[in-house]
Amino acid sequence: MHNKPRRPRYFTQSLKMLWDKTFSYQPGIPLCFLLSVIIYCSISSFSLIKPFTLDEAIPMADNASAINTYGLKAMGLSNPEHPHKSRYEVAHPLLYHFLLSIHFFIFGENTVSGRLMALFCFVITLLLILMISRQLFSGNKGSMVGILAIFFFSINPFCIQHSLLLDIDTTILPVLIMIFYYGFLRFGIGKTTFSIMVLSTLFAMCLWAKEITPYFVLLSMLIYLSVARNIRSALTISGLIGLLGTLLFIISWIIFCHFTNVPICNTLAL
C-alpha cells in the first residue's frame, strides 16, 4: 500500500521564497541589515526604561491593560460617572490596542515591554524597506538602494526619537502601510481580481490601524498609476481598492462593535 503524497508546505515554501527574494545570493545584505539593526538598537536602548508619558499611558497602555483585565468587551464598558460615555477612550480603531494587550499578556505590563513592541515594529519596517527596494530595482541596484535606505532610516534622529513611543503612527501603522506598498508592487498593481482583493484587504487592515492616514496612501497610489499607466486606469484601480477596502473595514468594524458594545460613531466620525 502506497503512502499518499504529502501536500506541499505552502506556508514554509512561501517564507523561503520571500527570504530568497530579499537576501538571495548576496550574503553581505543580511550582514548590513543586521548592522543597521544593531546600530539602531544600541542608540534606542537608552529610551527603553523611559517612563510612559500621559499620552502613552492614556489611552494606549491603559486600554491594553483593560483588555487583559476585562476581556474583549473592555472598550465597550460605560463610565460609572457618565453612563452615556465609554469608560475608556476610543478615538481610533482598536487594532493597536489589542496587539499591545497581547504583547503585555505575554511579556508583562511594564515600560520596557511596551517599548520593545515598538522596537520590534521598527525592525520589521526596516526589513520591508529592503523588500520594497528590491521590488522597485532589480539586482544589485535594488540591494544597494535598500541597504542605504535602511541605514539612513535607522540612524535618523527623528525616527529614533519617536520609534519607541506607544503610538499607532510609529508602530503598526508604518508596518501595515509598508506591507500595502509591497503588495502593491508584488501583485501586479491591480492587474487581476486576486491582486485587487489582496490590496483591498491590506487597505482595510491599514484602516484598522488608523482611519485617516491610509487615504493619503491611496492618493499616492493614484498619482503613481497616473504616471505609470493613465489617469483612467489609475482612477479605476485606486477607486476600486479604496471602495472595497473601506467597505470591508466598515462591515468588520460594525460587526466588532456589535459584539463588544464599542460605540460605532466614535471612530467612523458619523
Residue-wise pLDDT for 160-205, tens only, equals 888 888 899 999 999 999 999 999 988 866 668 888 999 999 999 9
pLDDT mean over 218-245: 91
Write down the pLDDT at residue 192.
Answer: 81
Domain-embedded: residue 7: no
Domain-embedded: residue 20: no
Ranges 47-56, 58-67, 80-89: which has the least confidence: 80-89
Query: For residue range 203-221, what is the model confidence (pLDDT) as tens digits?
Result: 999 999 998 999 999 999 9
d(CA 223, CA 229): 10
d(CA 253, CA 268): 9
Domain boundary among 130, 165, 200: 165
Domain-embedded: residue 215: yes
Same domain, 52 and 158: yes
User: Where in the sequence is the domain holding 261, given as residue range(s)?
Assistant: 187-270
Q: Between 76 and 93, where is the model more confident?
A: 93
d(CA 129, CA 99): 22
Domain-embedded: residue 15: no
At CB < 8 A and 24+ separation, what contacts does 140-149 make? 140/26, 143/26, 143/29, 146/29, 147/29, 147/32, 147/33, 147/36
Q: Between 53 and 115, where is the model more confident?
A: 115
Cell 500621559 belongs to residue: 54
Counted domains in the chain: 2
Angle between helical axes of 111-136 and 95-107 (0-180°, round to 10): 120
Ranges 28-42, 165-179, 212-226, 247-261: which has the least confidence: 28-42
Same domain, 50 and 130: yes
pLDDT band at residue 18 using 50, 70 and 90 as cut-offs = low
pLDDT band at residue 139 using 50, 70 and 90 as cut-offs = confident
Same domain, 45 and 123: yes
Same domain, 127 and 204: no
Residue 47 reports pLDDT greater than 90:
no
Domain-embedded: residue 235: yes
Domain-embedded: residue 102: yes
Secondary structure percentages of the chain, helix, strand, coil, to 5:
75, 0, 25
In angstroms, the Cα distances linking 87 to 79, 84, 96, 259 are 4, 9, 18, 17
Same domain, 149 and 33: yes
Residue 270 reports pLDDT greater than 60:
no
Q: What angle do CA 179, 184, 188 make, to 5 degrees?
A: 140
Domain-embedded: residue 147: yes
Write down the pLDDT at residue 7.
Answer: 47
Ranges 1-10, 66-75, 145-154: which has the least confidence: 1-10
Same domain, 43 and 147: yes
Half-sphere exposure of 167 (CA within 13 A, CB side): 13
Residue 14 reports pLDDT greater than 90:
no
Domain-embedded: residue 241: yes
Same domain, 191 and 155: no
Same domain, 107 and 191: no
Write down the pLDDT at residue 206.
Answer: 96
Write down the pLDDT at residue 269.
Answer: 47
Same domain, 242 and 120: no
Question: Under a CB-based contact definition with an 8 Å cutoff, are residues 180 and 202 in contact?
Answer: yes
Question: Under a CB-based contact definition with an 8 Å cutoff, are residues 201 and 258 in contact?
Answer: no
Question: Under a CB-based contact definition with an 8 Å cutoff, are residues 172 and 95 in contact?
Answer: yes
143 is written with which cell numbers? 540591494
pLDDT mean over 67-83: 83
3-state secondary structure at position 175: helix
Residue 240 reports pLDDT greater than 90:
yes
Q: What angle do CA 147, 156, 213 make, to 5 degrees?
A: 90
Same domain, 159 and 37: yes
Write down the pLDDT at residue 30.
Answer: 82
pLDDT band at residue 127 using 50, 70 and 90 as cut-offs = very high
Question: Under a CB-based contact definition with an 8 Å cutoff, are residues 159 and 119 in contact?
Answer: no
Same domain, 40 and 153: yes
pLDDT band at residue 16 using 50, 70 and 90 as cut-offs = low
Residue 100 reports pLDDT greater than 90:
yes
Half-sphere exposure of 1 (CA within 13 A, CB side): 1
Phi, psi at 86, each rounded to 5°? -75, 150
Confirm whether pTM is higher than 0.75: yes
Q: What is the CA radius of gyration of the chain?
A: 21
